[in-house]
Amino acid sequence: MRTRKIGAFEVTEIGLGCMSLSHAYGAPPSRAVAESLLLAAIDEGVTHFDTAALYGFGRNEQLVGEVLQPYRKRIMLASKCGMTGVDGKRVIDGRPATLKATCEASLKNLRTDVIDLYYLHRWDRTVPIEESVGALADLVAAGKIRTIGLSEVSAQTLRKAHAVHPIAAVQTEYSLWTRNPEYAVLGACEELGVSLVAFSPVGRGFLAGGVTDTSLLMEGDIRRGMPRFQAPQFEKNLGLLPGLAEMAKEVGATMGQLALAWVLSRSACIVPIPGTTSVAHLRENVAVSGVVLTQAQLERLGRIISPVNVAGARYPAATNVEIDTEDAPPEV
């Protein structure tokens, strides 16, 4: 694979989002399947692994830590704080003392002395962003984390945070059907020298053709509560896939590879982290480096699936109020 920069780190242009191995999409895979997937990523040369304290309420960090400890010096390890499980419930808490305590638990779970990239998973609106980032800066000074990231924040919040301590990366959803970063935060990242780490670059499996019947989604799968996966929006969105499938056949790639190639093309500062529980899909994702598209093909992709023809919001209303990312172009 080709490589891209996140701060001082050079990482493979396709990383691995580890969430689905423990969290969010119904019953997680067995330990054996999860371990095989992580080791296959190592074998494929992946060097960027992303987890969080929230995922499985610590279990994902423990899994990643146990399996990847022998390869620790070969990888860039990223995790997140500020949104964790408390008494079985998801809680957003950006207070400095909480962030520092979460970091200590993460270091133990990950079996490491230092976390390479540590994100504020959500901005806690009851705590000034400067205070939360100040706590993370203390962790940098203490040698517990190497660089600071933010997740799902606006350009304005990024600038406030960056004034306190350099921000290495902003993690946010970005794909053919989710273009919110283009409103402001992608431009701010390019201006400030910040990487944009794109999660769900294949639309939570939809853009790869992996979700065609929502009745088959397991109980506990977060997609069941997302407007794009609910009637009547889902049926409208299904109507977009034949055009994507036709183009994939024309260029000799998979639908998922087209989606990834499009995201990679948007800016040199973007590093996608698709997640999967399938070794075959993992290998398909990392092979995107061999997919070459012309500018005309990329523009066609952007028309086949775009905010103009996608139906439904990316999050339900209750979740959307927690997100700081711009959901409309900023006023000029």
Question: pLDDT tens for residues 232-241?
Answer: 999 999 999 9
Q: Confidence band (pLDDT; 50, 70, 90) for 330? A: confident
Tokens of 27: 């019953």
Tokens of 266: 């948007």
- 32 with 45: CB under 8 angstroms? no
The reported pLDDT for the residue numbered 96 is 98
Any domain includes 82: yes
Any domain includes 327: no
Q: What is the mean pLDDT of the chain?
A: 97
- Beta-bridged to residue 178, according to DSSP, are 175
The average pLDDT across 312-316 equals 95
Closest CA to 206 of 322, 328, 310: 310
pLDDT digits (tens, 9 = 90+) for 149-198: 999 999 999 999 999 999 999 999 999 999 999 999 999 999 999 999 99
Longest dimension (CA), the chain: 54
Give the structural domain span for 59: 3-320
Tokens of 120: 């504020």
Any domain includes 325: no
Residues known to be catalytic: 55
pLDDT digits (tens, 9 = 90+) for 34-57: 999 999 999 999 999 999 999 999
Any domain includes 329: no
* C-alpha of 220 from chain center: 20
The average pLDDT across 312-325 equals 94
The reported pLDDT for the residue numbered 245 is 98
Say how far apart CA 129 and CA 152 lie, in whole Å.
13
Any domain includes 332: no
Res. 207: pLDDT tops 70: yes
Closest CA to 15 of 290, 323, 282, 305: 282
Q: Confidence band (pLDDT; 50, 70, 90) for 332? A: very low
Tokens of 154: 């606006």
Cα separations (Å) of 230 from 62, 140, 211, 213, 316? 33, 43, 12, 10, 11
Any domain includes 274: yes
Query: Phi/psi of residue 246, each to 5°?
Result: -65, -45
CB atoms within 10 A of CB 305: 23
Q: Confidence band (pLDDT; 50, 70, 90) for 331? A: low
The reported pLDDT for the residue numbered 210 is 95
Any domain includes 330: no
Can you spell out the DSSP letters for 238-304? Answer: HTTHHHHHHHHHHHTS-HHHHHHHHHHHH-TTEEE--B-S-HHHHHHHHGGGG----HHHHHHHHHH
Identity of the amino acid at 69: Q
Kindly state the percentage of the chain with pLDDT values over 90.
98
3-state secondary structure (DSSP) of residue 93:
coil
The average pLDDT across 240-261 equals 98
The average pLDDT across 1-6 equals 96
The average pLDDT across 230-252 equals 98
Any domain includes 253: yes
Res. 93: pLDDT tops 80: yes
Kindly state the percentage of the chain with pLDDT values over 70.
99
The average pLDDT across 220-237 equals 97
- Beta-bridged to residue 91, according to DSSP, are 84
Task: Identify the CATH number of the domain in which residue 113 sits.
Answer: 3.20.20.100
The reported pLDDT for the residue numbered 328 is 81
The reported pLDDT for the residue numbered 107 is 98
**Total structural domains in the chain?**
1
pLDDT digits (tens, 9 = 90+) for 264-291: 999 999 999 999 999 999 999 999 999 9
The reported pLDDT for the residue numbered 195 is 98
